[in-house]
């Protein structure tokens, strides 16, 4: 373990909330990864005779209006919700890094054009833009991942641009130019690795946002379509029975809350541990 990693871990583990968020995320991933093994029932199997049964030893989180086990559906739904979050963020990070790197490295008219495009994108209400595009393309897991990704890269591009503006005049970059290295190699081999710290923080926070957006789309009927389970559509199925079957809204809502909160706490902890200016305040 090198000195930078030791320093990072030294400051990160001091933030108990961030460590708790990390442990909760690992637990959620463990549950999602082993859903097929630990889920007591088939998430799609219906049994009308067991509909709307409250939580019990047989059904830990109760059953829904079709007699399906909510605990099993929650476990399998976590796979979809997490997949949407991470794939969407991977798309947005890729676009954000590309735009920010070009703007920050080349500057001048390229920077001006790209940043004005970013400003235009920021003028649109993101959720309503996503809702409109999904309505036009049709609700599917792939479309949701793609649309969330291509509408949420602007913040990353600004962070990357700022890092490139700071790093492009450093001695190691000037030395690389003097050796005749191509711009592409300088950007991706020398500057980008030194400017990824804010990207990691942004990515962590964006995963939480993407999961929340997916849940919102599914709740409105534009997200993951039944019978495939996701936390959002389990929640929307339960709103019809909110007074008769409280567990159908409580448990998926609580899962979304805990997951989003955990990612936000982890992101805050990463920011504090990676930024030397914030370490002295702890």
Secondary structure class of 122 (helix, strand, coil): helix
Place of tokens 């504090």: 272
Please check whether residue 25 lies inside any domain of the structure. Answer: no
pLDDT over threshold 80, residue 276: no
Q: Are 81 and 259 in contact (CB under 8 A)?
A: yes
CATH number at residue 229: 1.10.3720.10
Please check whether residue 249 lies inside any domain of the structure. Answer: yes
Please check whether residue 52 lies inside any domain of the structure. Answer: no
Q: What is the pLDDT of residues 141-178, one digit of tens each?
A: 888 888 888 888 888 898 888 888 888 878 888 888 88
H or E element at residue 133: helix 126-137
Please check whether residue 47 lies inside any domain of the structure. Answer: no
Take residue 145 and report the two structure tokens written for it: 């991942």
pLDDT over threshold 70, residue 233: yes
- Beta strands (DSSP E) in 106-175 are none
Give how many domains the chain has, as a whole number.
1
Take residue 54 and report the two structure tokens written for it: 């409250």
Q: What integer best gives the mean pLDDT of the chain?
A: 84
d(CA 120, CA 122): 5
d(CA 14, CA 96): 31
Please check whether residue 93 lies inside any domain of the structure. Answer: yes
pLDDT over threshold 70, residue 281: no
Give the per-residue pLDDT at 113: 92
Please check whether residue 158 lies inside any domain of the structure. Answer: yes
Please check whether residue 38 lies inside any domain of the structure. Answer: no
Place of tokens 């000195």: 3
pLDDT over threshold 90, residue 23: yes
Q: What is the pLDDT of residues 63-120, one digit of tens each?
A: 888 889 899 999 988 888 888 888 999 999 999 999 998 888 888 888 899 999 998 8
Domain interval for residue 272? 67-279
Please check whether residue 6 lies inside any domain of the structure. Answer: no
């Amino acid at each position: 373990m090198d000195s930078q990693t030791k320093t990072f871990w030294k400051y990160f583990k001091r933030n108990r909330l961030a460590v708790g968020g990390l442990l909760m995320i690992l637990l959620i991933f463990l549950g999602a990864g082993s859903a097929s093994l630990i889920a007591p029932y088939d998430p799609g199997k219906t049994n009308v005779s067991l509909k709307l049964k409250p939580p019990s030893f047989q059904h830990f989180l109760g059953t829904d209006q079709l007699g399906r086990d909510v605990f099993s559906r929650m476990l399998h739904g976590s796979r979809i919700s997490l997949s949407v979050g991470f794939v969407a963020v991977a798309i947005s990070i890729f676009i954000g890094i590309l735009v920010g790197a070009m703007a920050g490295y080349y500057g001048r008219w390229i920077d001006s054009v790209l940043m004005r495009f970013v400003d235009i994108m920021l003028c649109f209400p993101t959720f309503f833009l996503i809702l409109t595009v999904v309505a036009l393309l049709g609700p599917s897991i792939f479309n949701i991942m793609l649309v969330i990704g291509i509408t949420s890269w602007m913040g990353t591009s600004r962070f990357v641009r700022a890092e490139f503006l700071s790093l492009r005049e450093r001695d190691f970059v000037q030395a690389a130019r003097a050796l005749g290295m191509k711009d592409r190699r300088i950007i991706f081999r020398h500057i980008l690795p030194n400017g990824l710290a804010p990207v990691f923080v942004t990515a962590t926070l964006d995963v939480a946002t993407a999961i929340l957006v997916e849940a919102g789309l599914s709740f409105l009927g534009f997200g993951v379509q039944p019978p495939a389970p996701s936390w959002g559509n389990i929640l929307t199925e339960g709103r019809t029975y909110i007074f008769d079957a409280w567990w159908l809204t409580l448990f998926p809502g609580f899962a979304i809350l805990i997951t989003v909160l955990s990612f936000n706490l982890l992101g805050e902890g990463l920011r504090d541990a990676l930024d030397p200016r914030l370490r002295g305040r702890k």
